[in-house]
Chains A and B, each alone.
Chain A
Amino acid sequence: MTAVSVSGVTKRFGKVEALAPLDLTVDPGEVVALLGPSGCGKTTLLRIIGGLERASEGTVLVDGLPPAAARSAKRVGLVPQSPGLLPWRTVRANAGLLLDVNRSANPAHAGADIDALLSEVGLDTFADAYPHELSGGMQQRVALVRAFALNAPLLLMDEPFAALDEMTREDMRHLLVRLCERTNATVLFVTHSIAEAAFVSDRVVVMTSRPGRIYADLPVDLARPRRPELEEDPAFFAVETTLRASLRDGAGR
C-alpha cells in the first residue's frame, strides 16, 4: 500500500485556481520534497493531504484512508511553519502535546520515549524549560520531536525551517535526516530551498507557478546515510544544479 496517493486533485479558492489536476504517490519510508516558487500551491497540497483543506476535485488516500479519517486516526504528524509551541507548557509537555489529545486514537507504538528524542536533538537539559527560554532553532527542534513522538505513518512538514538563519537551517536539515533515517518515517516536505530538498529527500517533486501542477518528479540518487560532508560533494552539487534548472524551467523563467 502506498503511504500517500493523490489522484486528479484540484483546488480553487473562489475564482483563483490554486492547483491544476495533479497526481502523486509516496511510498512508505520515502522522503519526498515539494519544491516550487512562492504561491504555487505546495502548502495547499500538503494541507489537502493532511485533511486540513478539502480538494475541489480528485481523491486523496493516506495510508489507505481518506484524509479526514487519517486525521481522526492520528496517522499524520504535522510540523507547521512556525513551531506552534504552547508558551505555558514545558518543552517536555509540548513534545507530548499530540499524544495528550484524542488519546483513544494514539497509534499502537505512539509515545516514543520523548526524553530519548529530546536527548537525540540535544534538548535533554531543556526538557523542563519553557518555549520563551529557547532560540528559534531549539523551538523548531521541539516541533520535530513533537511530530516524531506521535509515531504516525506520515509526517507532513510545511517549510519548518523557513524562518531560521542559514547556519541553523543547515543544522536542522542534518538533524531531520538523522531522525528520518533512524525511524524510517515517510515524510512529505515542503520547501523553497534547493539545498534542503537535495539533502533531505529521496525524490523531489518540482511544481510550476500558479495554478500549481507537477513539472518534474526527480529522484535524488545520493546514498544514505547522509552526513553533513555530503554537501561538499560534487554529486550533491550536481543534484542542486538539476533541481535549480528544473525549478527555473517550471516557473517559466
Chain B
Amino acid sequence: MQITHDTVRDVARLARLAVSEAEAHALAPQLSAIISYAEQLQSVDLTEVPPTSHPLALMNVFRADEPRPSLPREVALAQAPDSDGGQVRVPAVLEG
C-alpha cells in the first residue's frame, strides 16, 4: 500500500496535526514502509479467528452508583491554559 502525500495530509487533518508540504513528502514513504510491512498479515488466513481486544477475559466490571468527591474547581482548572469565570476558554467554535 503506497501512502501518497495527499493521504498523509488527509490523515493529518483528521488527527488535527499540521503537516507542512515537506513533512508530508518525508512522511509518505515512512508510513508506506510501515503499512507495507504490516501487509504480511494479509497472507494469513484469519477468516475464522476471533479478534482479541482484551488480553484478559474479564467481563462486567462495574462501580456502584455512589458519589465520590469531585475536584475543587480551582484544582480542576489549574492546568487550563485559559479560563474565564470558572469555565475553560477556547477560540470560538464556529457553528458554520
On whether the two chains bind one another, the answer is no
A interface residues with partner B (beta carbon < 8 Å): none
B interface residues with partner A (beta carbon < 8 Å): none
